[in-house]
Structure 1
Amino acid sequence: MTTVLVVEDDAAIRNNLARLLKLEGYAVSVAVNGSEGLAAARSLRPDVVISDINMPGLDGFALVEALRTDPALATTVVLMLTALDDRASMRRGMKSGADDYLAKPFTRDELLEALGALLKKRGRIEDSIRSAVQAREEDLRHAFLASLGGRPQDVPLLAQPPAGAQPQQDVEATVLFSDIRGFTSIAEKLDSNEVAQLLTQYFERTSVPVLRQGGQHLKFMGDGLMAVFTDEGGAGVGARRAVAAALALAVAAHDFRGWLQQRFADRGLPEFAIGVSLHAGGVTVCQLGTGPAKETTPIGDTVNTAARLQGASKELGWTVVASDAVLARAGSGVETGGRTSVEVRGRHAWLDIAEVLGLEAGGVPEADGLAVSAEDVRQAVEVNSEITARAVKGALRNKLSTMKDHQFGPGEEPPRLKGFRLVRKIASGHTTEVFLAEREADRLPVVLKVLQASATTEGASLARFIQEYALLSRLQVPHVTRIYDQGFSDDHAYIAMEYFERGDLRGELRAGMMTERVVDVVRQVAEALQVVHAQGIIHRDLKPENVMLRRDGTVALADFGVAKALHQDTSLGLAETRHGEVVGTPYYLSPEQARGGAVTPASDLYSLGVMFHEMLTGQRPFTGETLDLLLARHLTAPPPPLPPDLGALQPIMDRLLAKAPGDRYRDAQALLDDLGRPELLRTFSG
């Protein structure tokens, strides 16, 4: 329902207006003067304000000006009421920001016609803004999809004025373009709100040096920032200010890295870095749209070249790159490093560029006040951050959905994701697809899991899937599965991990294992658990299927999907098991897990004891015809004795399978110490 606020000091007019509008289906509030009207507008956020001009205290002109300076009310439709012959007030009201006026006295039809026309106009403007936002988001989504597929990311820029654009001026200027290196790799490891927060923090910090050096026409495009530096104040001043702003951007980005590491310390984010490129030449400044939707946009070949120089800077590893056109205008005092010529993609011409390392101190005057207002920048940053977050997460969702449904038909181009090329599907489940993939850089085979959360999973599977990477990425140890990459959207996730062509331990166990091999496997798993537990992580589902075999015979602990951090930060959104919920595989559950109690590192050691017994004897120590009976035996049945020839291992087995956690080994290192006793090694060596 459309809401209308009537601000009128004449009680008769105020009451008539309210009654008439209510009869027409509008939700109406009233105020008796401008001050009360402004307070009501800030509280109610009405769609329309109908205000008289001549009121005591805050008059109608001042009310309109106050509304237009409030970001939350700046686009509110305002209809002013004036005397029939007061043309000066009409002009002043429109200049103050009113959308239309209505001369007193007026009829019901005149009021409804004016109000209807304003609402229709507002709807067109909102549709225009909405369409522009959707188009921009779609452009970003395509650019991020290209990046995910291994192609260069290219956020579309304008080379020619679009239909309806009004060129305002042609200027000689230096264009600065910056973006975040590997932004999609960072964004994949955060949720949409966190991506938006990251971008907002980043742009608010990095906009400061650009504004200080007189950057104009700031635009935010995904993870990119563009600004134009004209030569106001003398030839070459714009180029020097652009160089100073670029170097200051690099410093601001370095400071931002500290915030990022603190805010997302446990996410395993890739190293944060930016690239800044500069190019000088002719720029056309256009005005797009009108009224609230008006936007000033620099366009032309200089703008596109500055943006596309980013590709060259990434390949060369330079933070700030400038074309010779910029260096020639900037004059002396610019410190440069490497130099080369590059063919700019889409330009079909070679460009001489240099790495910029510094600028002579005091060579550039600060230019506060030449750029747009900080409030305008803040609003632009917020809108861009939200659009970009939706676009990058949507692109990943589209990519993973396409991969999940790929059929690998003959002659079809295999899907690619972040430098991985899918080879074939290994397994398929209700929510998870598992692929064999190849890392294109070195042809290393990897396993790529793709999971889709559904309404039936209530997000738990996705959260645990994400947790698997978050935990494993912190561990760089020989006997834990290696993780190469991971990302997630709102309802899809992927993880690229080590491929084990020999499969898991179950196959070797079925074939029968020598005692020396069993002890060696237990030792390797214990070494993994020692590191895992020291990091505050409990596996909770230790079993032969989660111990993988490498080609050289060593083993690696895998599948931390139900692992739990001992000191888990619930703000990370990781899966957490409710008290009383049984998680794990029943044959390998500890007694405390069987009763739904708290898990500790000793719980993993119990599960390792079950595996130890099974590898030695070929039989699980506890079985049952029903789940209840099996769980009861975990809780009460004593460990079965080992065969006589394995008697030296019985004390170790008894401690591992003790019912009370306190009666087991205090940690995995204590188990390793016991397994390393010289007399035990002599018994089972050779």
Structure 2
Amino acid sequence: MPSPIPVTRLLSKDLYPSVELSTCSSPLAQQAHGSSLQVPQTRLHRRVCSRSWSSVIHWDQLRSVEPVGSGGFGSVYRAEYLGETVALKKVKKSSKNPLASRQSFWAELNPAHLQHPNIVRVIAATTCVPADFGDEGSIGTVLMEFVGSRNLQQVIYESSEPLEEARWFRFSRDIVAGLNFLHSHGLVHLDIKPANVLLSSADVCKIADFGCSVKLDRDCEMSSISPHLSHVCGTYTHRAPELLRGQQVSSKADIFSFGITLWQLLTRQPPYTGDRQHVQYAVVAQHLRPSLRDHPVFRTALGRRCSVLLGRCWSAEARSRPSARDLLDLLDQVHSQT
């Protein structure tokens, strides 16, 4: 769960609320009856219709709602909505840090106006849920495309299906293509890991779970946000060292996380052993990284090329890591030499 950060970092200035976040408030505006997030009419065509984003959830159109999974964030359901299979995510209020829960919910809407084949599409969202569906512990609901019931974490560690070169390369390219799109729109995910990459029935990877995401300042490659974010948001095994040190956020943090994820795809092993505090300290102070020697895959010609690429992705200096755009080319070069 991310720590409190300014709502202005989560959504553009003309969409965030200027008053306190009450039960039915939203950065899109309040509706009189409190049943949806309603975009002001002056912005409707430009901000909603042109990008197929709807700010209204028609609850009476939900059919066959079935639970899919749950966790610390809340619960996910599969449902039919206006003739389409969708995922419905209820974000749970944290009793320890309710403000962080709210801001995690708004961060989930950062990609709401964006569409890309490797990004989970947001359809609609609301902070007000009908009594027969909601509960007091829910902050709000996000309606998204239903990608499938599997993620890369399950494929890597919980299945025996092969991850041959052609497949892990395709998965890697899907993830980087999604990151390149996000970064080109000033959005940093900050929690890239196998569990946050969903796998469609067509074996296509889609980046999901934007609860830690941050919008960078316009025309700025780095963002000076609350230092607490870098210590709390994201997953420690995939977190870039500059975030562990409480420094500025940039798109290169996602590149570091992708490097750890690619290593997992190649080895099907956990990146680190030991307790959390030791790993975090070692990553920053001792440049700890997953081993590039112990696994047989790195003894092949392809593995040696991958190890060079991984070394660039998880460089201690953010500026030394490739951009997502450059990383697409580097992946192609690694694959083309086989």
For the criterion TM > 0.5, the same-fold answer is yes
The one-letter code sitting in structure 2 at the alignment partner of 1:541 is D
- How far does the alpha carbon of each residue in 1:197-230 deviate from its partner, in whole angstroms, 9 at most, with x for none? xx8xxxxxxxxxxxxxxxxxxxxxx79xxxxxxx
Kindly report which structure 2 residues correspond to 1:247-266, keeping only aligned pairs within 5 A, or say none.
257-258=41-42, 260=43
Q: Is the 8 A contact 1:547 1:556 kept in 2?
A: yes
- Identify which of 88, 99, 103 aligns with 1:448: 88
Q: Which residue of 1 aligns with 2:106?
A: 466
Q: Is the 8 A contact 1:422 1:435 kept in 2?
A: no
- How far does the alpha carbon of each residue in 1:413-444 deviate from its partner, in whole angstroms, 9 at most, with x for none? xxx815222422223456623222111x32x2
Larger Rg, first or second structure (1 or 2): 1
Q: Does 1:659 align with 2:316?
A: yes
C-alpha distance in structure 2 between counterparts of 1:641 and 1:492, whole Å: 43
- How far does the alpha carbon of each residue in 1:286-323 deviate from its partner, in whole angstroms, 9 at most, with x for none? xxxxxxxxxxxxxxxxxxxxxxxxxxxxxxxxxxxxxx
C-alpha distance in structure 1 between counterparts of 2:212 and 2:243, whole Å: 13
Q: Is the 8 A contact 1:487 1:494 kept in 2?
A: yes
**TM-aligned CA distance change 1:483 to 1:189, over 3 Å:** farther
**TM-aligned CA distance change 1:456 to 1:649, over 3 Å:** closer
C-alpha distance in structure 2 between counterparts of 1:500 and 1:193, whole Å: 26
- Identify which of 115, 119, 133 aligns with 1:476: 115
Q: Which residue of 1 aligns with 2:336?
A: 681
Q: Does 1:668 align with 2:324?
A: yes
Q: Following TM superposition, by how much is the alpha carbon of 1:516 offset from its aligned partner in structure 2, in angstroms? A: 2.3
- How far does the alpha carbon of each residue in 1:350-370 deviate from its partner, in whole angstroms, 9 at most, with x for none? xxxxxxxxxxxxxxxxxxxxx
**TM-aligned CA distance change 1:576 to 1:563, over 3 Å:** farther
**TM-aligned CA distance change 1:463 to 1:422, over 3 Å:** farther
Q: Which residue of 2 aligns with 1:641?
A: 292
Q: Is the 8 A contact 1:582 1:596 kept in 2?
A: no
C-alpha distance in structure 1 between counterparts of 2:227 and 2:166, whole Å: 37
SS in 1 for 2:68: strand
Q: Which residue of 2 aligns with 1:610?
A: 260
| Higher-strand-fraction structure | 1
Q: Which residue of 1 aligns with 2:74?
A: 432
Kindly report which structure 2 residues correspond to 1:388-537, keeping only aligned pairs within 5 A, or say none.
417=59, 419-429=61-71, 432-439=74-81, 441-442=82-83, 444-453=84-93, 455-469=95-109, 471-489=110-128, 492-510=139-157, 511=160, 512-537=162-187
What TM-score comes out, normalization by structure 2 length?
0.73
- How far does the alpha carbon of each residue in 1:632-665 deviate from its partner, in whole angstroms, 9 at most, with x for none? 2322235432521111222211101111111111
SS in 1 for 2:91: strand
SS in 1 for 2:228: coil
SS in 2 for 1:459: helix
- How far does the alpha carbon of each residue in 1:247-278 deviate from its partner, in whole angstroms, 9 at most, with x for none? xxxxxxxxx844x469xx8xx5458xxxxxxx
Q: How many residues align?
A: 281
C-alpha distance in structure 2 between counterparts of 1:644 and 1:431, whole Å: 40
Q: Following TM superposition, by how much is the alpha carbon of 1:596 offset from its aligned partner in structure 2, in angstroms? A: 2.4
Q: Is the 8 A contact 2:152 2:194 kept in 1?
A: yes
C-alpha distance in structure 2 between counterparts of 1:550 and 1:676, whole Å: 23
SS in 1 for 2:231: coil
Identity %: 22
Q: Is the 8 A contact 2:105 2:139 kept in 1?
A: no
Q: Does 1:627 align with 2:282?
A: no
Q: Does 1:561 align with 2:211?
A: yes
Q: Which residue of 1 aligns with 2:190?
A: 540
C-alpha distance in structure 1 between counterparts of 2:30 and 2:230, whole Å: 35
C-alpha distance in structure 2 between counterparts of 1:508 and 1:193, whole Å: 37
C-alpha distance in structure 2 between counterparts of 1:424 and 1:460, whole Å: 27
RMSD (Å), alpha carbons? 3.2
- How far does the alpha carbon of each residue in 1:601-626 deviate from its partner, in whole angstroms, 9 at most, with x for none? 111000100011111112244x2422
SS in 1 for 2:249: coil
- How far does the alpha carbon of each residue in 1:68-113 deviate from its partner, in whole angstroms, 9 at most, with x for none? xxxxxxxxxxxxxxxxxxxxxxxxxxxxxxxxxxxxxxxxxxxxxx
C-alpha distance in structure 2 between counterparts of 1:422 and 1:565, whole Å: 35
Q: Is the 8 A contact 1:582 1:593 kept in 2?
A: no
Unaligned runs of 5+ in 2: 1-22, 35-39, 51-55, 130-137, 219-224
Q: Following TM superposition, by how much is the alpha carbon of 1:460 offset from its aligned partner in structure 2, in angstroms? A: 1.7
C-alpha distance in structure 1 between counterparts of 2:316 and 2:209, whole Å: 25
C-alpha distance in structure 1 between counterparts of 2:68 and 2:119, whole Å: 21
C-alpha distance in structure 2 between counterparts of 1:487 and 1:419, whole Å: 15
Q: Following TM superposition, by how much is the alpha carbon of 1:576 offset from its aligned partner in structure 2, in angstroms? A: 6.3
The one-letter code sitting in structure 1 at the alignment partner of 2:292 is P
